[in-house]
Amino acid sequence: MSSWTAPIVFAACSLVIGLGAVLAESNVRVTGNNLGYEPEQPIHFSHRVHAGELQMDCLSCHYGAEKSRHAGVPPAELCMGCHAHVTSTLDVKLQEKALAEAEGREPKTIVSVELRKLYDALGLDGELKTDPTKERRPIEWVRVHNLPDYVYFDHRVHVARGLACQTCHGPVGSMERIRQESTLAMGWCMDCHRKNAADPTAARATPAGGAIELGDGEHVSIDCARCHY
């Protein structure tokens, strides 16, 4: 064994023992069991509408994915770029407009039940003005994807490699409610890493069919310590 591999092998062994102990102690949620998880969210926010029909770029809301470990969920203020004006769906607005015309009055602002929840979170009143008696509180989105704490994953490096979000998250633009589409199991990470590590000089096919360009001598790591501290 050469001198530099010894610490790595040692680290791997102590890791396996350590993890074994952790798993024996607690009831660790195995992420692989979470495939298809599609929890009800506090506001009916539709990716089909926003990312699909309106064709909004994923990064316009999940800007963290390019800059940090976590993609993050956008703050409610970001939604107001549109929802300061869009207070209900277009068909409801048009119905009210037609009704108002027939009754010879000004159309009223109709606030839908779901968007009312957004305005409540921001402490806004019926006119969408700040109501000093209302408390602002963050929307408690239910987290869908969640790796165990002992795994290190970083969006930045994957996104910088040109991997599409859909490679790992599936057809989000057609999801009415967000759903976990990959197992997030170790074997899933490893399959892609192995595929990309096999030939370090060629461009490699990703499951979505895109290519990841790796420079000369660059490897996608399958070292235990890269994903486990």
Contact pattern for ligand HEC over residues 189 through 218, marking x by CB under 6 A: xx-xx--x---------xx----x------
* DSSP per residue, 7-74: HHHHHHHHHHHHHHHHHHHS-PPPGGGGTT-----SS---HIIIIIIT---HHHH-THHHHSS-----
Nearer to ligand HEC, 107 or 132 (CB): 107
Tokens 């979470």 sit on residue = 34
Amino acid at 16: V
Nearest CA-CA partner of 49 in 81, 85, 90? 90
Nearer to ligand HEC, 42 or 125 (CB): 42
| Beta bridge mates, 130 | 124
Does the footprint of ligand HEC cover residue 89 (CB under 6 A)?
A: yes
Nearer to ligand HEC, 86 or 131 (CB): 86
In terms of Cβ atoms closer than 10 Å to its own Cβ (0-12, 13-18, 19+), residue 103 is: exposed
Does the footprint of ligand HEC cover residue 116 (CB under 6 A)?
A: no
Residues 214 and 200: their CA atoms lie apart, in Å, by 7
User: Which residues from 123-142 bind ligand HEC, rule CB under 6 A?
Assistant: 141
User: Which residues from 11-40 bind ligand HEC, rule CB under 6 A?
Assistant: 12, 15-16, 19, 30-32
Does the footprint of ligand HEC cover residue 220 (CB under 6 A)?
A: yes
Among 35, 38, 48, 73, binds ligand HEC (CB under 6 A): 73
- Whole-number minimum distance, CB 42 to ligand HEC, in Å? 8
